[in-house]
Amino acid sequence: MDFSIKAFDTKNTIAAAKSGCIAVAVFENKKLSQEAKALDKGGEITAALKSGDLSGKAGSTLLLRDVSGAAASRVLLVGMGSDDAVSEKSFASAVGATLKAFASLGCQDAIIALPLADVKERDAAWAMRTIVIAAHESVFRTDTQKSKKDPAPAGVHKITLAAAANTESKTALAQATAIANGMNLTKELGNLSANVCTPTYLANTAKKLAKEFKFEVEVLERKQLEALKMGSFLSVTNGSEEPPKFIVLKHMGGKAKDAPVVLVGKGITFDTGGISIKAGPGMDEMKYDMCGAASVLGTFRAIGEMGLKLNVIGIVAACENMPSGRATKPGDIVTSMNGLTIEVLNTDAEGRLILCDALTYAERFNPAAVVDIATLTGACIVALGHHNSGLFTRTDAAHEKLAAELLDAGQNASDTAWRLPIGELYNEQLKSNFADLANIGTPGGASCTAAAFLENFTRKYTWAHLDIAGTAWKSGGAKGATGRPVPLLATFLINRT
């Protein structure tokens, strides 16, 4: 999907614009947007509203042909709801309906002239991002591994946004496109079957990104991990034939002495649960247990395309969690990279075992902040459903600031998170008679105890944990990776420049 920006004024009028279709807004009180008024010289739009053919309700549409006041072949009237306060939901509904209508048209180009700057508590940049991401989602394909590909989508492929063609708008469009492309990569990686998207595949993807966007990249192999004494991470890899990969990407777009932001992604490319094996139904979806890693790679694709002026380091700990005669057993005690011993009471709580060593490794970068991203606990879905990612941080001033940054970025990107607690009370649940701590807590607050476990390995820097178990993919008929939380992460990083 190709996007461009064009400003329309008294000399270069929207009525004179030649296009396959122009989408303009109408409202529930039969009021026309300024762009709709400009096309209504012959009264066809007003007549359509008076006839009751279009209610103006958000998401309703009506296609008109040969409108006398428009040089375009078609005019798409798009309901925007109340004109008093166009809500975020109303705008998103209108955008979705517009793109759905565009998909059935016999033209390839169109203009979207919706009120980008009139959404309550949002700006034109947010509106552009909403349109661009929705448009990419509408043409996203899941047929990568099909022997016969789905038919190429018909309809509009080139969209012009009616907006001021200034630096701000051009930057907003470029950022929106980069974020959408990053989400596409994250979805593609998540949707691939686990026999294809192995730890090695993730490492090769990182190398391709490094080549394309001039990142630095390093992939640590088992012997190097053993030398680093990553006993916790390696304990998860024991049952698998697939070699583990520890991937480090560096985007050094800021000043040489600036401390980097570090993103750490959980990359379990398939999670059987290990010896604590999962139930069979739905286990196929455990290919999505690497969506934290995929979101780090997708975010790097976005910031690489943007040329973001910030130092960012990505760490991906990638392996499989499989049962075998070599696999870690419940009750085994392993030693993490920072020296803490861990009693593995449940081998299906493996994400925290690989992340804790990755979080210790992050210390060497003297980071400004570290954010880990993981499909960590089913309990997070129980708590928050599929709407919000779970956010966990400490409560001192530096961590309150980081939490606010992430929550604000999620709100601005429509990729929301909700803060949940950690603290010593949850650490009490992780006590072990035989090791420094256990990898699962006593019953209750499982998302919080998982985050509290990770917190033990982050005491030397400012840190936040995002549990994306409920937001990284969808089940059922719409099964597939969502690309979240790439918008949140990319917006967070943009805001730090």
Tell me which of 134, 162, 190 is where a domain ends. Answer: 162
Q: What is the residue whose two structure tokens read 């607690």?
A: 421
pLDDT-derived band of residue 300, with 50, 70 and 90 as boundaries? Answer: very high
Mark whether 156 and 186 lie in a shared domain: no
pLDDT for position 366: 98
In a domain? residue 280: yes
The one catalytic residue among 129, 266, 352, 394: 352
> Residues 303, 339: one domain?
yes
Helices and strands, counts by H and E, the chain: 15, 19
Q: Is the pLDDT of residue 10 over 90?
A: no
Residues 320, 417 share a domain: yes
Of the listed ranges 117-131, 302-316, 371-385, 403-417, the one predicted with least confidence = 117-131
Are 152 and 202 in the same domain?
no
Q: What is the pLDDT of residue 151?
A: 83
Q: Which residue in the block uniquely carries the two structure tokens 């210390």?
A: 363
With pLDDT > 90 as the criterion, what percentage of the chain qualifies? 95
- The per-residue pLDDT for range 237-272, each reduced to its tens digit, is 999 999 999 999 999 999 999 999 999 999 999 999
Model pLDDT for residues 106-146, shown as the tens digit of each residue: 999 999 999 999 999 899 999 999 999 999 999 999 999 99
pLDDT of residue 30: 86
Distance, in Å, from the CA atom of 189 to the CA atom of 297, rounded to the nearest integer, reads 9
Q: Are residues 193 and 285 in the same domain?
A: yes
Name 89's Cβ contacts closer than 8 Å, sequence gap at least 6.
Answer: 58
Residue 352 annotated as catalytic? yes
| Co-location of 252 and 369 in the same domain | yes
β-pairing, 463-467 vs 369-374, is parallel
**Domain CATH code at residue 123:** 3.40.220.10
Q: Please tell me which residue in 158, 170, 207, 278 is annotated as part of the active site.
A: 278
CATH at 354: 3.40.630.10
Q: What's the pLDDT at 72?
A: 96
Confidence of residue 181 (pLDDT cuts 50, 70, 90): very high
Mean pLDDT, the chain, rounded, equals: 96
| Pairing outcome for strands 463-467 and 389-393 | antiparallel
Query: How many domains does the chain divide into?
Result: 2
pLDDT at 88 over 80: yes
Is the pLDDT confidence value at 85 over 90? no
Beta strand 389-393 pairing with 417-419: parallel
Containing structural domain, residue 260:
178-495
Q: Is 208 a catalytic residue?
A: no
